[in-house]
Structure 1
Amino acid sequence: MESTSVGHGTVEHGSAAHPGLDIEALRQDTPGTAHRTHLNNAGAGLLSRRTLTTMTSHLELEADIGGYEAARQEQDRVDATRTDIARLVGGQPDEIALFDNSTHAWNAAFYSMTFAPGDRILTGRAEYGSSVLAYLQTARRSGAEVVVVPDDKYGRLDTEALAALIDERTRLIGVTHVPTSGGLVNPAHEIGRIARAAGVPFLLDATQSVGQFPLDVTRIGCDMLSATGRKFLRGPRGTGFLWVRREALDYLEPFVSDIEAATWDGERSFTWHAGARRFESWEASYANVLGLGAAVCQALDLGMDRIGERTMALGTHLREALEALPGVSTYDLGRVRCAIVTAKVDAVPTADVAAALARQGINVSTTVPEHTQFDTEVRDVHPLVRLSPHYYNTRAELDRAVAVFAELARTAG
């Protein structure tokens, strides 16, 4: 596919094993699957027992010997989290900074750049709401201009239009890889090629793509990448990370300083720490960090190619099943679409559809216009029901959700 190395493959019926993944064992290792159909992995994935045990064990250690003492004892494992994240995204350990969420990670990169009157920030219609607000705030403060690149005929960021818009005023290309509001996968590799050729920094929001399918920062060609732990990585809430290409440190000046980020040189001078850790703060939840590390290791052990193949195929099955229902519409853009599926039942409020699913023990989310402002400007479709399966879900679970849509559509019709 254009932005990943994922194919569509086949998916088991019910809970039979998918080639390369023991789905039944994975479900047994995921307590939440015993009593819920969790189709809200774009919100927060279900923790595995492996991750849960890692976190609770560290909390018990803190209670037993003290927080500082536990952190010192587990320092090697904390450092290994950066190493494993680097393996996951194709970077180096010193290019990884740990955060308490993906927005803070993204902010650390974006607000470390400087903008002047006339500078241009190029972005897409799929951009996440918090990033849009940051662009607008920076434009108000600095006099920079926010330029929204149009979509192509598939609904992806139009790379030809992007290339044509780049000029000497362009200071940043900021793009969301997969939006919060649908299954679109933006052509990150092509955007990266254009950015490199033009010598323009490229900030990629990979919040919904990391953990869902393989990606490699070297192949993509971005300069900064932000992500969360709580979604398709299945890590704990309160975790995120930033990858920063070493060369990008030449033009990034961290917008806050901290004793974890810099060293006092004496008198009135300081030196930034080497690598991406200059963006970190000293205080952290080490139980969360180790939980993130456990989740990343699980993804690496299972193999992102296999995860991506299965997850994408589940999304395709769900989308096609919903599209086949009279009175139900799906709204996912893109030539290649991932495991996030958005849909609506004719004449039935989205909130009522979500409530009906919840009564059947099916977890979903709903989209809101304020989370994708630039998309809302051209598509008056929100709110939508957002369903997002992951590799531990089964076709039987997806079909249960489809049956709820079918009944609502039949009743409304």
Structure 2
Amino acid sequence: MIDIDRIRADTPATRRHTYLHNAGAALMPTPVVAAMKQHIDLESEIGGYAAADREAVRLEAVYGSVARLLNAAPDEIALVENATVAWQMAFYSLSFGKGDRILTAEAEYAANYVAFLQVAKRTGAVIDVAPSDASGELDVHALERMIDQRVKLIAITWVPTNGGLVNPAAAIGKIARARGIPYLLDACQAVGQMAVNVEALGCDMLSATGRKFLRGPRGTGFLYVRRAMLQKLEPPMIDHFAAPWVSRDEYRLRDDARRFETWENNYAARLGLGAAVDYALAIGIAPVEQRCRLLAGRLRSGLAALPGVTIRDLGRAPGAIVSFTVDGYEADAIVASAAAVGITIGASDPPSTRIDAEIRALPHLVRASPHYYNTEAEVDRLIDHIAGLARR
């Protein structure tokens, strides 16, 4: 059972406005903010190097916290600046040649797809998009039929940016593992709102951010690389932390996932990330997921009952991102009208998931994303606000 009163006390902004934009950047709880401020204060007193040395144990513990969150080992975790860096370090470590195939999903995120395009342009690799089934989820049977010896990577976004769809990541993992194909999973919108078990998922690499449902600071992210895959990958860029300079003409890559890191990083933000992970683990990911789905379901059904409102989410069991449109209103106008009455929501533009948007002829979407610290009353407040717009 989640102690909502305590959690909202740890989130002071909830007393001032209704925040339903957690798929963008969630509100950080006070322990996260305190961890960052304390380290900045320490740096101001004794300098950055000495502060890092003094907090070495706590900084090292962040790897263990992230590993527990993912059911991984600490040496399989790299801490980086954001989810994009994490994903890119994994993707650009792979080798592709002419005719090699990359399999992805219709709802793939723009940042990932443009990287596919760049590698295809450089190498002659081919991008093939697996179709969706009747529910809108990636069709795993169609994906399996697409596999041949030329497939060098399966890379999908688990929960896309433009709605509540939850792709069948574990089922895809079973196919990838059985065929011996590297599997890169973008879990940016999944981590923090649902259980993430890399063993059950069967992924070889997983990228995520701290700022979304995990409630960590901006400028934080992490990469998981399965130990068996780790030794096969050489990062696209290295420094002397990732690969110590062992002799005049030789460097030696680290044996752990920190080969994907660089020497310099934001230690205050890293401690904030660790505090966010520990905070989520203390609450329990299972009750977090249950409450996220409860609140999102309440919002989705309430909006769907309104005239002129169309829910745009796909999938059999949508997550905590609710996307919708209102007849006669642009998405940005709805976001602005909500902000004017103290409700924070967001929007998703078609180019962020271009293939899905083109297939479904999607306009700019309104995106509301409740989290476990939200209340039913806050969800109803947004429904009432949209009802007022729909009646005009």
The answer to whether 1:32 aligns with 2:40 is: no
Structure 1 gaps of 5+ residues are 1-19
2:160 matched to which residue of 1? 179
Q: CA offsets, 1:27-49, max 9 Å, x none? A: 01102211111100000010111
Q: CA offsets, 1:309-364, max 9 Å, x none? A: 00111100100000011111100000110010001111111111111111111111
Inter-partner Cα distance in structure 2 for 1:49 and 1:29: 5
1:264 matched to which residue of 2? 245
2:367 corresponds, among 386, 392, 412, to: 386
Code of the residue aligned with 2:110 in structure 1: it is G
2:118 matched to which residue of 1? 137
TM-score by length of 1: 0.94
Inter-partner Cα distance in structure 2 for 1:164 and 1:288: 44
Inter-partner Cα distance in structure 2 for 1:251 and 1:121: 18
Inter-partner Cα distance in structure 2 for 1:174 and 1:265: 35
Check conservation: 2:231, 2:255, Cα contact below 8 A.
no
Structure 2 gaps of 5+ residues are none
Q: CA offsets, 1:29-84, max 9 Å, x none? A: 10221111110000001011111111000000000111000001111111100100
- Secondary structure at 1:55's aligned position in 2? helix
The answer to whether 1:215 aligns with 2:196 is: yes
The answer to whether 1:351 aligns with 2:332 is: yes
Aligned residues: 392
The answer to whether 1:22 aligns with 2:3 is: yes
- Secondary structure at 1:262's aligned position in 2? coil
The answer to whether 1:201 aligns with 2:209 is: no
Check conservation: 1:84, 1:293, Cα contact below 8 A.
yes
The answer to whether 1:191 aligns with 2:183 is: no
Inter-partner Cα distance in structure 1 for 2:234 and 2:243: 12
| Shift, 1:377, TM fit | 2.4
The answer to whether 1:227 aligns with 2:246 is: no
Residues 160-179 of structure 1 mapped to structure 2, 5 A cutoff: 160-179=141-160
The answer to whether 1:276 aligns with 2:271 is: no
| Shift, 1:263, TM fit | 1.0
Check conservation: 2:80, 2:221, Cα contact below 8 A.
yes
1:253 matched to which residue of 2? 234
Q: CA offsets, 1:360-407, max 9 Å, x none? A: 111111111111122122011131100000000001001110111101
Code of the residue aligned with 1:196 in structure 2: it is R
Q: CA offsets, 1:122-147, max 9 Å, x none? A: 00011111001000000000000000
1:310 corresponds, among 291, 298, 302, to: 291
Inter-partner Cα distance in structure 2 for 1:236 and 1:79: 18
Code of the residue aligned with 1:242 in structure 2: it is L
Aligned-residue Cα RMSD (Å) equals 0.7
Q: CA offsets, 1:202-221, max 9 Å, x none? A: 00000000000111000110
1:65 corresponds, among 30, 33, 46, to: 46
Instruction: Extract structure 1 runs of 4+ deviating beyond 3 A.
Output: none
2:356 corresponds, among 363, 375, 391, to: 375
The answer to whether 1:121 aligns with 2:95 is: no
Residues 393-408 of structure 1 mapped to structure 2, 5 A cutoff: 393-408=374-389
Code of the residue aligned with 2:297 in structure 1: it is T
Inter-partner Cα distance in structure 1 for 2:258 and 2:208: 16
Code of the residue aligned with 1:232 in structure 2: it is F
Code of the residue aligned with 1:208 in structure 2: it is Q
Code of the residue aligned with 1:112 in structure 2: it is S
Code of the residue aligned with 2:44 in structure 1: it is A
Q: CA offsets, 1:187-216, max 9 Å, x none? A: 011000000011000000000000001110
Inter-partner Cα distance in structure 2 for 1:172 and 1:251: 14
The answer to whether 1:241 aligns with 2:185 is: no
1:4 matched to which residue of 2? none
| Shift, 1:171, TM fit | 0.3
Inter-partner Cα distance in structure 2 for 1:351 and 1:40: 14
Code of the residue aligned with 1:107 in structure 2: it is Q
Inter-partner Cα distance in structure 2 for 1:382 and 1:69: 52
| Shift, 1:250, TM fit | 3.2
Inter-partner Cα distance in structure 1 for 2:186 and 2:257: 17
Inter-partner Cα distance in structure 1 for 2:341 and 2:241: 47
1:152 corresponds, among 133, 145, 170, to: 133
1:291 matched to which residue of 2? 272
2:75 matched to which residue of 1? 94
- Secondary structure at 1:291's aligned position in 2? helix
Q: CA offsets, 1:202-258, max 9 Å, x none? A: 000000000001110001100000000000000000000000001112321110011
Identity %: 51
Code of the residue aligned with 1:228 in structure 2: it is T
1:325 matched to which residue of 2? 306
- Secondary structure at 2:196's aligned position in 1? coil
Check conservation: 2:110, 2:351, Cα contact below 8 A.
yes
Code of the residue aligned with 1:275 in structure 2: it is D
Inter-partner Cα distance in structure 2 for 1:379 and 1:341: 16
Inter-partner Cα distance in structure 2 for 1:396 and 1:164: 47
Inter-partner Cα distance in structure 2 for 1:87 and 1:163: 31
1:3 matched to which residue of 2? none
Check conservation: 1:223, 1:248, Cα contact below 8 A.
yes
TM-score by length of 2: 0.99
Inter-partner Cα distance in structure 2 for 1:203 and 1:313: 29
Check conservation: 1:132, 1:373, Cα contact below 8 A.
no
- Secondary structure at 1:163's aligned position in 2? helix
